Structure 1
Amino acid sequence: MKPSYEDTGHESRGFSRRTFLGGLGAGAVVATLDPNAAIAAASRARAQGVLANSFGRIFRLPGFAEANDRVRGGLLEMGKAGGLLDAKDPLHEGPIRLITNPELSPNNVDNPFHTAGTTFLGQFLDHDMTFDETSRLGVPTRPEDSPNTRTPSFDLDSVYGGGPTATPQYYDPADRAKFRLESGGLFEDLPRRADRSAIIPDPRNDENLMIAGMHAAFLRFHNRVVDRLRAQGTPPTLVFDTARRTVTWHYQWIILHEFLPQIVGQPLIDHILRFGRQFYRPAAPAFIPVEFQIAYRFGHSMIRPSYRANLAGDNGQPFFGFIFDQAGQGQADPVDLRGGARAPRRFIGWQTFFDFGDGQVRTNKRIDTKLSTPLFNLPLQTIPSGDPPTSLAQRNLLRHLTWSLPSGQQLARTMGIPTVSTSELATFGIGLESNAPLWYYVLKEGEALGDGRLLAGVGARLIGEVFIGLLQLDRASYLAADPRWRPTLPSRSAGTFAMVDLLRFAGVDPASRRQ
């Protein structure tokens, strides 16, 4: 029998402070009788300020290990290039052959149940709900003292900022209801300064070409919704607010009906929606639990070493590149797929990343304990703090000490979930075989119980409950404000909406660009 909420060591309040800047929270208007007034009031609340919040905990349990030099050394050894977690992709084969000949990387298995775009949609979602800019790797920190500079909800604040009044730099000066959108390549690009840095609310959405392309697609999606509303006769004073709600609700629909089922499976989603959240049940407004923040990094295992960015952007030929390649450092038009650059070939052909039915889509990698080799030598520009270590695995592992996180086995026992073995970690000599770092444990569950297709056990429950909780606790979300709502924009199937539909409506699909 699963333990009750009271006897599992939970902390019902996940933070020590939470305030609103400005007089009215966006979610407080949903009970207003006039829906147009509700939209306008929500927009004014966002313009007055953003929710100030901190990270928190779901569980009050001891950390998996002490934050001492011996443990740090063991974690660095575990996450080093060429170590246990490195898929050891033969990068000398080049970016094309690693896609067309998957047998060259036997440790880095394709996932035929996801498309390559699943990875970057997941990254986009992460940047919409959480951003930790202050805590230090490997240095114990109270989550309650660490501000989250994103709102803990799927409200696209990473795209909209504070709106056209509070943050006009993100909007078209000739039409404040629309976003700025630039080019310089064959197709749309983020607006950029002279140094090529992106003019967007969250700089992480320019870390790589795919996430930059997705952000640009959302800008264009919003602008097309504005055009549609104007053609339908929406009053000018309500166009922006109505467009934002339309965009955000369709985005939230995609999260609940397309992304989350691929990650945790529809049966778990149905169970949570029917019987409620067992573990993530804050007594106050939503917060981002550090257990979730670390478990959500499972997506790093899905990243391929290389991608085909588009079909004909490179002088009429496909543009292939490694996700990151040190040879691209300092190049105006890098050979890899890093962000922060503009050139004619640097755009995304979405037929590689989502299934438009043309046979061009590619898969991502399985959720397992192997990461693609380029992730063990990140460009410093992709690290918000700008300093090493450059191994993504090492950074993830040290983050467990920052938050004094319990081990995966501890959480499994506390949640009443059978444990999986991590005996292979005995080689590091710091007790990880029985107290595995949570991030590694979640990957091991996916590998051992989910066949690398989707999360299982602790990881699935954490991700599923927090995702659904963030939607349920945001009174402005469609799930809370109008759970019977259905998508209203054109789609392949009536009554639903998917990323392919979003990209088509935005006009960035293959049929629109022929590239």
Structure 2
Amino acid sequence: MFAGLDPLGVASEQLTRAGDAGGICDAAAVLAAPGSHDDGREAAGWPFFGQLVAHDITADRSPLTTDAAAPRNARSPRLNLETVYADGPIGSPFLFDREDPDKFLLSADGADVPRNNQGVALIGDPRNDVHLFSLSLHVALLHAHNRIVDRLRREGVPAADVFDQARICLTWHYQWVVVHDFLPRVVGAQLVEEVLSEGARWYTSSPSQAFIPLEFADAAFRYGHGQIRYAYRLIANGPQVPLFPDLVGFGPLPADRRLDLAQIFDVPGQPAAQRAKRLDGRLAAGLIGLPAQVTGGAYHSLAARDLLRGETTGLSSGEAVAAVIGAQPLSADELGYDWPHGTPLWFYILKEAEHRGGGDRLGPVGGRIVAEVLIGLLRADPVSYLSLEPDWTPTLAAPFGVTDLLIGRDTGARARIGAVDV
């Protein structure tokens, strides 16, 4: 995204020290009472929704182009729920109900994805089984698709069109939530409107050249790691447990580990959900000591992994990117740590969020990268709602938000989005 900038170049030993237990990224090293002063403004589910988006745009199944001369393995990143639909009922039949292939197959009680006899998830993207929250959001989307199928049938849609119409309907509503509910919380409504109306300044893409910049993948969109709480309540008045190791996935969902989504998203008419952790450059203890099921045995600190990743891919400093986009750089006092030659972009973006976004949203550098890339990917997708019908608004409910996407609301609105051939 900023190809003319030089790599920062920080010794791996310094990055590892900064990210490991006791380092500057370890919240436990500076908080005498973890969790007592770190609640942010947004609900606790939003960083997990961001993880869902990250998995979606890297699922890598979408054809890059319809040109017959293009390489067969050419792919383009898209926000099109590939993690949910995979290759559809024909290419991924194990995901769908054999008796009703327009619908997804679920566990017997509907709370989990189906699994094989070794407990391995039958799921469109195994990464969505990494922990309880990503799995719960995935299952919620499966239910959303199935609800839309029922509604389309009630509306009299021909049987041959039901699955495709349901897929388009769910995907467009998801894309709309990304633009109008998720992004304003992450980068601010003003920046979202600016990028929508004026276009991107630094990220350019087209259907044949869509890409995910390293500054996005290895720095800015890893901001959500800094919003993970120390512990979560899964049901009203239930005990609080940490994400790792207690809620790690990759196995059948225990009966006592079911999540009420109203505990992590604000649902109208119900008590406020738990809040995400404030962004301040520090990660919760469970992320500083990840379990082996997640790491594979190396680099147990997620902070260290994020710092080293940016160095490995040759990212420039946060100060260098700020200078390019014309943002006021953070001061040494705001950074709170002496990086002699510049600050790693990931850490800079977290500290910028603390001091320029009140700990609740990204600042000018991080916000610009995230907004331009996600909106740019939607514009590069020839079948997204932003490409085909940019003024489209949700048809399932009005007003529409993330809880309508994940939980649903019986409003009598139509599920059809029109005669769109995708």
TM bracket, shorter-chain basis? 0.7 to 0.9
Three-state SS of the structure 2 residue aligned to 1:104 is coil
1:32-71 Cα offsets, whole Å, 9 max, x none, are: xxxxxxxxxxxxxxxxxxxxxxxxx4423211006xxxx0
Q: Greater CA radius of gyration, 1 or 2?
A: 1
Match of 2:241 in 1: 321
Match of 2:217 in 1: 293
**Aligned partner (choices 120, 129, 132) of residue 57 of structure 2:** 129
CA offset at residue 426 of structure 1? 9.1
Three-state SS of the structure 1 residue aligned to 2:27 is coil
1:346-380 Cα offsets, whole Å, 9 max, x none, are: 22101111112321411111122111111011112
Partner Cα separation in structure 1 for residue 330 and residue 212 of structure 2 = 26
1:286-311 Cα offsets, whole Å, 9 max, x none, are: 11111111211011000001101123
| Match status 1:368 vs 2:280 | yes
Match of 2:5 in 1: 61
Q: Is the 8 A contact 2:23 2:29 kept in 1?
A: no
Match of 1:261 in 2: 184
| Match status 1:345 vs 2:256 | yes
Match of 1:209 in 2: 132
Partner Cα separation in structure 1 for residue 289 and residue 328 of structure 2 = 35
CA offset at residue 422 of structure 1? 4.3
CA offset at residue 151 of structure 1? 4.7
* Structure 1 residues 433 and 447, CA gap change in structure 2 (3 angstroms): farther
CA offset at residue 417 of structure 1? 1.7
CA offset at residue 481 of structure 1? 0.5
Q: Higher relative CO (CA 8 A, sep ≥ 6), structure 1 or 2? A: 2
**Aligned partner (choices 47, 67, 84) of residue 119 of structure 1:** 47
CA offset at residue 399 of structure 1? 0.4
**Aligned partner (choices 138, 144, 155) of residue 80 of structure 2:** 155
1:114-172 Cα offsets, whole Å, 9 max, x none, are: 0011121111111111269xxxxxxxxxxxxxxx9985111000110011101111111
Match of 1:411 in 2: 321
* Structure 1 residues 219 and 379, CA gap change in structure 2 (3 angstroms): same
Letter in 2 for 1:416: G
Q: Is the 8 A contact 1:158 1:201 kept in 2?
A: yes
Three-state SS of the structure 2 residue aligned to 1:159 is helix
Partner Cα separation in structure 1 for residue 86 and residue 106 of structure 2 = 15
Structure 1, unmatched stretches of 5+, are 1-56, 91-101, 133-147, 312-316, 326-335, 508-515
CA offset at residue 433 of structure 1? 3.9
1:172-230 Cα offsets, whole Å, 9 max, x none, are: 1111111111146xx51111122222111211101110110000000010011011111
1:289-341 Cα offsets, whole Å, 9 max, x none, are: 11111211011000001101123xxxxx725311113xxxxxxxxxx111123
Give percent identity, aligned residues only: 40
1:366-402 Cα offsets, whole Å, 9 max, x none, are: 122111111011112223xx23101000100110122
Match of 2:266 in 1: 355
Q: How many residue pairs are counted as aligned between the two chains?
A: 394
Structure 2, unmatched stretches of 5+, are 61-72, 411-422
Q: Is the 8 A contact 1:487 1:497 kept in 2?
A: yes
Partner Cα separation in structure 2 for residue 159 and residue 392 of structure 1 = 26
Q: Is the 8 A contact 2:8 2:341 kept in 1?
A: no
Q: Report 1:224-263 matches (<5 A).
A: 224-263=147-186
* Structure 1 residues 217 and 106, CA gap change in structure 2 (3 angstroms): closer
Partner Cα separation in structure 2 for residue 374 and residue 150 of structure 1 = 35
Three-state SS of the structure 2 residue aligned to 1:505 is coil
Q: Is the 8 A contact 1:72 1:398 kept in 2?
A: yes
TM-score with structure 1 length normalisation?
A: 0.72
Partner Cα separation in structure 2 for residue 149 and residue 87 of structure 1 = 42
Three-state SS of the structure 1 residue aligned to 2:79 is coil
Q: Is the 8 A contact 1:406 1:438 kept in 2?
A: yes
Question: Aligned Cα RMSD in Å?
Answer: 2.4
| Match status 1:78 vs 2:7 | no
